[in-house]
């Protein structure tokens, strides 16, 4: 083959619009788009059960929008990319950066091997508003407290990058470079427990855009207050789309800002600051990668967890006897999602009432959440436990009864899942 094609590797950016690496790949030449399910380098936190369903469906949608030109691989990206490069005599490789420790290690290795063989590697930021290494305190150490990180560090630095529209004239390599299909990745079990998700979710880039538009027209105007009440429709439910990159946080940031150009009110500010919490989670993961399974505050290493297995099982099944806790755990099982207020309640209950190690909670969420995200999940669990950077103090315990009374006074949410 003498044709000049470039390689684009889809990872946590399963979209065409505002995909910087894809944009520049398409500008350069005809693009061979690939997805690799990495079964080699991602060690402890391989994709969880619910997320597999989401990924399968996202890949199907992505392949459709690429007119069936997405090539699928399973294996070690280091080897896979090497083979493709040789087969098609590729000189340029493009991807958007990942920020978890296993991916960083892998990507560094691939990049250095490719560079050694005179292949150009172009990497971009496609998933964060601010690069974690650019935001530091005046003494050049990382922030550990959210408010100064966000207000001074992020908002005080450059504006987030403007979204880039996909160029419809982009040309993709027509033939598949591999015979594997999306089904061959075996992301869906034979036992079809996941069919229930179809009634709640439509994965994919188009659906992400619809969700955002709906949220802006119906949820945003009372977000600050309403986001605390799980029965209200004031949250965006965008998290799984963000996690798989079907919409970028830059697209969301600017859609929200454009919507409220004339009045940047408390709801807009608050919503943007929640995207800020996501940035903070990624920031912590980048600067303190041990956060995924190690207490950031070492004094917690000696905490005498009780870890009663029966009690843990009851929590997982939503059979603790505490209505809002059980509702949350059943919402998670039924829909692959849980409202943020309730995540905090069930988390506090597990760690502070049942005295079960936060890592057990993290593990269950990892398997059950459609939005399971290493950065947000580990930093939120450490926040709940009190062992994290800017965490809820260990002595602040959510009273599971009062929380229910306050945030679900009529039991509207609770009764949906615990009739
Ligand atoms: P919205 O209120 O509409 O917020 C919009 C977006 O802002 C979210 O999609 C998310 O990207 C970001 N965001 C909002 N709140 C937070 C937060 N506290 N921390 C980080 N980002 C936030 N979020 C995940 O995406 N993946 C996880 O695995 C995850 N695990 C969690 C575990 C625990 C114990 C707790 C307490 C929180 C966890 N969160 C996690 C954070 C938060 O609960 C979800 O991001 C949020 O509920 C998603 O719903 P939404 O899109 O409707 O949120």
- Beta-strand ranges (E) seen in 157-311 are none
Q: Residue 122: exposed, middle, or buried by beta-carbon count in 10 A (0-12, 13-18, 19+)?
A: middle
What digits encode the pLDDT tens for the residues 321-374?
A: 999 999 999 999 999 999 999 999 999 999 999 999 999 999 999 999 999 999
- How far does the centroid of ligand 1 lie from the alpha carbon of residue 324, in Å? 18
Residue located nearest, by CA, to atom 18 of ligand 1: 277
Q: Which of 205, 164, 197, 165 is nearest to 14 (CA)?
A: 205
β-strand 30-38 against 5-10: which pairing, if any? Answer: parallel
- Cα separation, 34 vs 415, in Å, equals 45
Q: What 3-state DSSP class applies to 234?
A: coil
Residue located nearest, by CA, to atom 15 of ligand 1: 274
- How far does the centroid of ligand 1 lie from the alpha carbon of residue 99, in Å? 17
- Cα separation, 32 vs 404, in Å, equals 52
Residue located nearest, by CA, to atom 20 of ligand 1: 278
| DSSP output for 69-80 | --EEEEE-HHHH
Q: Is 245 in the pocket of ligand 1 (CB under 6 A)?
A: no
- Cα separation, 291 vs 296, in Å, equals 6
Q: Is 292 in the pocket of ligand 1 (CB under 6 A)?
A: no
- How far does the centroid of ligand 1 lie from the alpha carbon of residue 380, in Å? 8
- Cα separation, 235 vs 268, in Å, equals 12
Backbone angles phi, psi at 267, to 5 degrees: -70, -45
- How far does the centroid of ligand 1 lie from the alpha carbon of residue 376, in Å? 7
According to the model, what pLDDT value does residue 264 have?
A: 75
- How far does the centroid of ligand 1 lie from the alpha carbon of residue 239, in Å? 6
What average pLDDT score do residues 248-268 get? 90
* Pair 228, 262: CB distance under 8 Å: no
What digits encode the pLDDT tens for the residues 144-197?
A: 999 999 999 999 999 999 999 999 999 999 889 999 999 999 999 888 999 999
Grade residue 1 by pLDDT with cuts at 50, 70 and 90. Answer: very low
> For all residues of the chain together, what is the average pLDDT?
96
What digits encode the pLDDT tens for the residues 13-63?
A: 999 999 999 999 999 999 999 999 999 999 889 999 999 999 999 999 999
DSSP 149: I
- Cα separation, 41 vs 376, in Å, equals 21
Neighbouring C-beta atoms of residue 313, cutoff 10 Å: 10
Give the position of tokens 């006074």: 409
The answer on pLDDT for 84 being more than 60 is yes
- How far does the centroid of ligand 1 lie from the alpha carbon of residue 4, in Å? 42
Neighbour order of strands in the sheet with 71-75: 71-75, 30-38, 5-10, 92-96, 120-124
Give the ligand 1 atom nearest the CA of 346: 34
Q: Is 358 in the pocket of ligand 1 (CB under 6 A)?
A: no
Cβ partners under 8 Å of residue 95, min gap 6: 8, 9, 11, 21, 107, 121, 122, 123, 124
* R_g of the chain computed on alpha carbons: 22
Residue located nearest, by CA, to atom 11 of ligand 1: 239
The answer on pLDDT for 411 being more than 80 is yes
Q: Is 340 in the pocket of ligand 1 (CB under 6 A)?
A: yes
The answer on pLDDT for 262 being more than 80 is no
- Cα separation, 45 vs 293, in Å, equals 10
- How far does the centroid of ligand 1 lie from the alpha carbon of residue 340, in Å? 6
According to the model, what pLDDT value does residue 389 have?
A: 81
Q: Is 251 in the pocket of ligand 1 (CB under 6 A)?
A: no
What average pLDDT score do residues 311-318 get? 98
Q: Is 227 in the pocket of ligand 1 (CB under 6 A)?
A: yes
What digits encode the pLDDT tens for the residues 86-130?
A: 999 999 999 999 999 999 999 999 999 999 999 999 999 999 999
Q: Is 362 in the pocket of ligand 1 (CB under 6 A)?
A: no
Grade residue 263 by pLDDT with cuts at 50, 70 and 90. Answer: low
What digits encode the pLDDT tens for the residues 185-243?
A: 999 988 899 999 999 999 999 999 999 999 999 999 999 999 999 999 999 999 999 99
As given in the structure block, the two tokens for residue 15 are 């979209």
b/e burial code for range 28-62 (CB count within 10 A of at least 16 → b):
bbebbbbbbbbeeebeebebbbbbbbbbbbbbebb
According to the model, what pLDDT value does residue 114 have?
A: 97
According to the model, what pLDDT value does residue 222 have?
A: 95
Give the position of tokens 């990497």: 123
Give the ligand 1 atom nearest the CA of 237: 52
Q: Is 378 in the pocket of ligand 1 (CB under 6 A)?
A: no
Give the position of tokens 């505490």: 322
Give the position of tokens 């003498």: 2
- How far does the centroid of ligand 1 lie from the alpha carbon of residue 124, in Å? 24
pTM (predicted TM-score): 0.97
* CA 387, chain centre distance (Å): 22
Give the ligand 1 atom nearest the CA of 347: 34
């Amino acid at each position: 083959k003498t044709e000049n094609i470039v390689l684009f590797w889809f990872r946590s950016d399963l979209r065409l619009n505002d995909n910087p690496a894809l944009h520049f790949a398409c500008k350069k030449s005809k693009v061979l788009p690939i997805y690799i399910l990495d079964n080699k380098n991602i060690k402890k936190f391989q994709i969880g059960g619910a997320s597999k369903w989401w990924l399968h469906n996202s890949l199907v949608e992505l392949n459709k929008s690429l007119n069936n030109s997405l090539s699928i691989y399973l294996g070690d990206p280091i080897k896979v990319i090497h083979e493709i490069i040789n087969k098609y005599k590729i000189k340029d490789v493009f991807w958007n950066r990942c920020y978890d420790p296993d991916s960083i290690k892998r990507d560094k290795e691939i990049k250095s091997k490719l560079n050694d063989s005179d292949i150009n590697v172009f990497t971009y930021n496609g998933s964060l508003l601010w690069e974690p290494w650019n935001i530091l305190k005046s003494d050049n150490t990382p922030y550990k407290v959210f408010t100064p990180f966000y207000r001074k560090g992020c908002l005080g630095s450059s504006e987030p990058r403007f979204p880039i529209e996909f160029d419809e004239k982009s040309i993709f390599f027509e033939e598949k470079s591999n015979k594997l299909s999306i089904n061959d990745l075996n992301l869906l079990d034979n036992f079809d427990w996941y069919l229930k998700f179809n009634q709640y979710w439509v994965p994919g880039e188009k659906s992400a855009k619809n969700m955002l538009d709906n949220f802006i027209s119906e949820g945003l105007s009372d977000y600050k207050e309403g986001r605390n009440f799980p029965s209200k429709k004031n949250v965006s439910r965008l998290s799984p789309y963000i996690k798989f990159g079907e919409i970028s946080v830059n697209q969301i940031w600017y859609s929200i800002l454009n919507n409220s150009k004339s009045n940047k009110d408390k709801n807009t500010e608050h919503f943007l600051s929640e995207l800020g919490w996501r940035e903070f989670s990624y920031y912590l993961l980048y600067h303190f990668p041990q956060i995924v399974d190690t207490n950031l505050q070492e004094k917690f290493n000696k905490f005498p967890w009780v870890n009663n297995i029966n009690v843990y099982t009851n929590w997982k099944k939503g059979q603790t006897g505490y209505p809002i806790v059980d509702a949350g755990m059943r919402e998670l099982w039924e829909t692959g999602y849980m409202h943020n207020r309730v995540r905090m309640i069930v988390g506090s209950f597990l760690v502070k009432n049942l005295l079960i190690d936060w890592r057990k909670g993290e593990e269950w969420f990892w398997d059950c959440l459609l939005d399971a995200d290493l950065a947000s999940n580990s930093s939120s669990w450490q926040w709940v436990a009190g062992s994290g950077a800017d965490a809820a103090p260990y002595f602040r315990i959510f009273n599971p009864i009062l929380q229910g009374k306050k945030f679900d006074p009529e039991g509207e949410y609770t009764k949906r899942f615990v009739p």
